[in-house]
């Protein structure tokens, strides 16, 4: 754990990037490899949202993944997602290999429309790509007074319980709902102990992993990022079997059921490796929107009551406050507003400058 002095030093070294600068940078990079302007805008909005909310693993950190697939022709430049079949409450979408956020936005908007008509919308997509933070989609439904949910399968990087081989991915889950007075519950989590991108960030910053995040190629606990990224893998949420890692394994399997199995996309170890860019990803995704008005009245009151039951307790010794899901992201967005932009470690900016040079665009402007 970093000392207070080390943390203060990191804060002093932070470089602030205005949100509009990040958005413009992402759009320029994407358009320079052939992305259509409207698709580049959607992708850039996702990237900005991730870093603005403090999910650095899924913002600018991920941009080269999208650029490589676009440049190599493994993400479509000229197609749109389309509905294959539907009922009043459900739809199956062919993503036509478009950028993940383009597919996800299309699917969630269908789910929202159906939920407003019949109370619920459940949409699955196949032939999609990495869709960034799952919360971006559930928030889209929440902002329209609905409960939003989003799930996605990913490249296999979980070493599940009693195994030493990668089969499932980080397979994220997000659920978002709004109570009274703009109080929010926003769950956005991987079903592994940590997201793959957080290991990548540690690797970029030349830092070791905390114990329990990951294992080596033999299934033993490992803190070396190089070994974990290229040979080992992540533990399921909960860690090892004795600390209930089988529950994270089960949740990851559930996400795969909703995404890969239900949609007819690739699933499990059939999904390409995260380092591979020689084939199509064909990821499966699932989006749901629920209208609380189709159920018992007073939903917002009860949700706010539960939020306060959790948050307003006396903190444990040594703690100053209790948070609910979504609070850390709000704090980070407040910090960004105070700073006038998103704070980055210098090595993250070095990476962005490398991307700017490689893809022939102006670098990020900074404060």
**Phi-psi bin for 326: left (phi > 0), alpha (psi -120 to 50), beta?**
left
Question: What pLDDT shows up at residue 276?
Answer: 81
Predicted model pTM: 0.93
Question: What pLDDT shows up at residue 112?
Answer: 99
Helix, strand and coil percent figures for the chain, each rounded to 5? 45, 15, 40
Q: Which of 128, 103, 123, 155 is closest to 282 using CA atoms?
A: 128
Whether residue 184 is predicted with pLDDT greater than 80 in this model: the reply is yes
Whether residue 213 is predicted with pLDDT greater than 70 in this model: the reply is yes
Q: Which residues contact 245 (CB under 8 A, 6 or more apart)?
A: 160, 161, 193, 235, 236, 237, 238, 239
What does the alpha-carbon distance between residue 43 and residue 26 come to, in Å, rounded to a whole number? 8
Contact 161, 245 (CB under 8 A): yes
275, with CB counted inside 10 A (0-12, 13-18, 19+), is: exposed
Q: What is the mean pLDDT of the chain?
A: 95
The 10s digit of each residue's pLDDT in 84-143 is 999 999 999 999 999 999 999 999 999 999 999 999 999 999 999 999 999 999 999 999
pLDDT band at 1 (very low <50, low <70, confident <90, very high): very low
Question: What pLDDT shows up at residue 12?
Answer: 60
Q: Taking residues 208-221, what's their average pLDDT?
A: 94
Question: What pLDDT shows up at residue 265?
Answer: 98
Question: What pLDDT shows up at residue 208?
Answer: 96
Tokens of 285: 């995704």
The 10s digit of each residue's pLDDT in 280-315 is 999 999 999 999 999 999 999 999 999 999 999 999
Q: Crossing angle, helix 100-118 and helix 37-52, to 10 degrees?
A: 80
- Order of strands across the sheet with 233-234? 221-222, 214-215, 233-234
Whether residue 2 is predicted with pLDDT greater than 70 in this model: the reply is no
Residue 189's beta-bridge partner residues? 173
Question: What pLDDT shows up at residue 11?
Answer: 59
Whether residue 4 is predicted with pLDDT greater than 90 in this model: the reply is no
Q: Which residues contact 292 (CB under 8 A, 6 or more apart)?
A: 145, 146, 147, 177, 299, 300
């Amino acid at each position: 754990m970093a000392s207070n002095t080390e943390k203060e030093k990191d804060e002093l070294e932070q470089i602030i990037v205005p949100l509009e600068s990040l958005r413009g940078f992402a759009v320029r990079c994407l358009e320079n490899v052939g992305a259509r302007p409207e698709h580049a805008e959607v992708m850039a909005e996702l990237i900005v949202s991730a870093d603005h909310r403090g999910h650095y693993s899924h913002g600018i950190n991920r941009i080269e993944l999208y650029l490589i697939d676009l440049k190599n022709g493994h993400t479509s430049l000229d197609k749109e997602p389309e509905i294959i079949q539907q009922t009043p409450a459900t739809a199956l979408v062919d993503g036509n290999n478009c950028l993940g956020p383009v597919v996800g936005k299309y699917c969630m908007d269908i789910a929202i429309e159906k939920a407003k008509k019949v109370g619920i919308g459940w949409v699955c997509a196949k032939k999609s790509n990495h869709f960034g933070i799952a919360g971006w989609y559930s928030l889209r439904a929440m902002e329209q007074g609905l409960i939003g949910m989003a799930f996605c399968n990913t490249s296999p990087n979980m070493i599940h319980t009693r195994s030493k081989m990668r089969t499932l991915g980080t397979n994220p889950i997000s659920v978002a709902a709004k109570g009274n007075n703009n109080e929010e519950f926003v769950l956005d989590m991987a079903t592994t102990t940590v997201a793959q991108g957080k290991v990548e960030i540690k690797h970029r910053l030349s830092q070791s992993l905390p114990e329990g995040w990951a294992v080596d190629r033999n299934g033993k606990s490992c803190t070396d990022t190089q070994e974990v990224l290229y040979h080992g893998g992540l533990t399921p949420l909960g860690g090892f079997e004795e600390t209930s890692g089988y529950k994270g394994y089960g949740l990851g399997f559930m996400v795969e059921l909703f995404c890969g199995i239900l949609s007819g996309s690739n699933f499990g170890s059939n999904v390409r490796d995260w380092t591979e860019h020689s084939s199509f990803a064909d990821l499966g995704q699932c989006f749901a929107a629920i209208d609380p008005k189709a159920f018992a009245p007073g939903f917002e009151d009860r949700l706010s009551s539960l939020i306060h039951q959790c948050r307003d307790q006396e903190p444990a010794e040594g703690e100053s406050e209790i948070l609910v899901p979504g609070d850390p992201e709000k704090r980070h967005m407040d910090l960004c507003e105070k700073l006038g932009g998103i704070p980055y470690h210098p090595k993250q900016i070095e990476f962005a400058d490398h991307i700017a040079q490689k893809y022939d665009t102006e670098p990020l402007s900074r404060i």
